[in-house]
Amino acid sequence: MGCIGSCIGSCLATCGCEAMKCCGQCGPKRGSRIPYLVCFFISTALALILRYWGGPMLIHLYWYDYQLCNTDKCVGFGAAYRISFTLCIFFLFHALALYSNSCQKIDQGFWMPKIFCLIFLLIIAYIIPNEFFDGYTHVARVVGGIFLLLQIIILIDFAYAWSEDWNSDEKNWKAAILIVSFLFFAASVVLLVFMFIWFAGSGCGLEKFFLAFTIILTFTYTIISITFANPGGILPPAIMSLYAHYVCFNALSSDPNVSCNPFETTDTTQLVIGLLIAAASTTYAAYNLATSNSIFGDNEEAAAADVESGKAVVPKEAPKAEVMDAKASEKDKSNDNKSGDDNKNADKEDDEPEPLGPVQAMRNAKFHFIMAAGSMYMAMILTNWSSRQEVQDNKKSYDVGEENMWIKISSQWLTCLLYIWSLIAPFIMKNRDFS
C-alpha cells in the first residue's frame, strides 16, 4: 500500500507540475473572454439541472463519507444560490486582481488552477450554512434589478446607435432602414396575433390587459418618434416594438394560470430545451452588458489612452525596407542550425503576455464586475426572483410563477417609458444637451 501510495503521489505531483507549466502558455490570449462565458454557461446549466434533478450530495472517500448536502434546501433553489455565489466570488476575485499590476496576468491565463479553485469554491458554498444565503438572496435581488435596468439602457442605446449608423453620411442606407423596420413591425404584429390566440382566452382578463397596454405603449412611442422626436426615425421604434412584444410573450409564458398559459409544459424534452435556451440567453445577456461600449467607452479611445500613458505595448508599422530586411533575416535564421536553448528562449519571449495598460485593465475589471452581477441575476431568474413558493414538481417550466411574470411585464413597461422619455426629454428640457 505504501508503494502504491508513493507512485500515485508521484504521478499527481508530475501532472500538477506539468499543468502549472502550461498555465501561463496554454491559456487564451489577452482579451479573450470566451473561457469566462463558457464557465458562466456551464454553471448556469448545472444550476438548472440541480434545481430539478439534484439530490443529496456527499464526498465519498475510502474510509469516510462527508455529507455536503442532505437537505432539500441544498437542491432546487438552494443549488442555484450556491452556484451563483460561487460564480460571483470567482468574478469578483478577477476584478480585484486587475487593480494590482503584479496580479494582472491571472486574468490572461492560469486556467488549470482557476478551474480547480472554482470547484473548490463550489464545495465551500455547500458547506456554508443555509442562513447565509437568506442574506445573499436579498443582495442578489437588488443587484439583479440593477443588472436588468442596465440591460434596458443598453437596448435603447443600441436602437439609437443602429439608426444613427445607417443614417450616417458614409452609408445613408434609407432603403435598408425601411426594409428592416417593416420586417420588425411585421414580426411584432404576427407575434401579437399569436399572443391573442394563445393567451387571451375566456376568463383571461389580466392577460388581455397586458396585450392591450403593450399595443398602447408601442403605438405611442412610434408616433412620437416618427413625427417630431429628434433623434427619431422609424428604425428605433421598430426595434423597441419587437422587443416589447417579445417581453410580453415571455411574461405571459410565465403566467401560473394554466387555463391562460398553454406553454406550461410537463414534457421533459421541452423542459430540457427550455433550460438550455435559458442558460444561453442568460450568458448572452451578461456578455452583452459586460462588453457594451455604453458602459466602457470606445475600444480605440481606451487603446489611445494606454499608448499616451506609455503603459501599452503597441507594434508600430515598419517601413517597407525594414520589412524586407526583417523577412530576409528571418529566412536566414530558418536556414541556420541554432542550439535548442536559443530557440526555447525565443519562444518563451514570444509567449510572454504583453502588459495591460491602465485603461484596458480597468475595462477588464469592469467586465468581471458585470459578470459577477450577472451571476446574481442568474440566481434570480432561476428562482423566480427569490420566491419562497418553490415549485416541487420538477417537470414544471423553469420560470413559471407570479413573481417572474410581474417582473418581466414591469421591465417591459419600464423599457417603454424610458424610451418615451428619451424621445420627449429634448423638448421638455431644451437647455440640456442630449447628443
Residue 79 or 4, more confident: 79
Q: Note whether 184 and 242 are within 8 A (CB).
A: yes
- Mean pLDDT to the nearest integer, 185-205: 92
Q: How is the chain split into domains, by residue range?
A: 28-298+354-428
**Which cell numbers hold the place of 115?**
478551474
Torsion over CA: 405, 143, 383, 271 (sign): positive
DSSP 112-159: HHHHHHHHHHHHHHHHS-HHHHHHHHHHHHHHHHHHHHHHHHHHHHHH
pLDDT reported for residue 344: 46
- Mean pLDDT to the nearest integer, 201-225: 93
pLDDT reported for residue 203: 86
Q: Note whether 94 and 368 are within 8 A (CB).
A: yes
Instruction: Report the alpha-carbon distance of residue 356 to residue 256 in Å, rounded.
Output: 50
pLDDT reported for residue 416: 94
pLDDT reported for residue 91: 92
The region, left, alpha or beta by phi > 0 then psi within -120 to 50, assigned to residue 58 is beta
pLDDT reported for residue 194: 94
pLDDT reported for residue 16: 41
Query: Tell me: the pLDDT tens digits for 63-116?
Result: 656 666 666 556 678 888 899 999 999 999 988 888 877 777 777 777 888 889
pLDDT reported for residue 52: 73
Residue 68: φ, ψ to 5°: -70, -40
**Which cell numbers hold the place of 239?**
426595434
Q: Is the pLDDT of residue 340 over 60?
A: no
Query: Tell me: the pLDDT tens digits for 392-417?
Result: 444 455 567 788 888 889 999 999 99
- Can you give the C-alpha Rg of the chain in angstroms? 27
- Mean pLDDT to the nearest integer, 346-359: 53
Alpha helices in 128-234 (DSSP H): 130-166, 174-199, 205-227
pLDDT reported for residue 10: 39
pLDDT reported for residue 316: 42
pLDDT reported for residue 177: 92
Q: Note whether 357 and 312 are within 8 A (CB).
A: yes
Query: Tell me: the pLDDT tens digits for 174-194?
Result: 899 999 999 999 999 999 999
Q: Is the pLDDT of residue 239 over 90?
A: yes
Residue 79 or 214, more confident: 214
pLDDT reported for residue 25: 43
Residue 401 is given by DSSP the state S
Q: Is the pLDDT of residue 222 over 90?
A: yes
Beta bridge partners of 118: none
- Mean pLDDT to the nearest integer, 228-233: 79
Name which of 111, 403, 51, 57 is nearest 43 in CA terms: 51
Q: Is the pLDDT of residue 428 over 70?
A: yes
- Taking all residues of the chain, what is their mean pLDDT, rounded to a whole number? 74
pLDDT reported for residue 191: 95
Q: Note whether 248 and 211 are within 8 A (CB).
A: yes
> How far does the chain reach from its first CA to its final CA, in angstroms?
75
Q: Note whether 215 and 158 are within 8 A (CB).
A: no
Instruction: Report the alpha-carbon distance of residue 291 to residue 363 in Å, rounded.
Output: 9
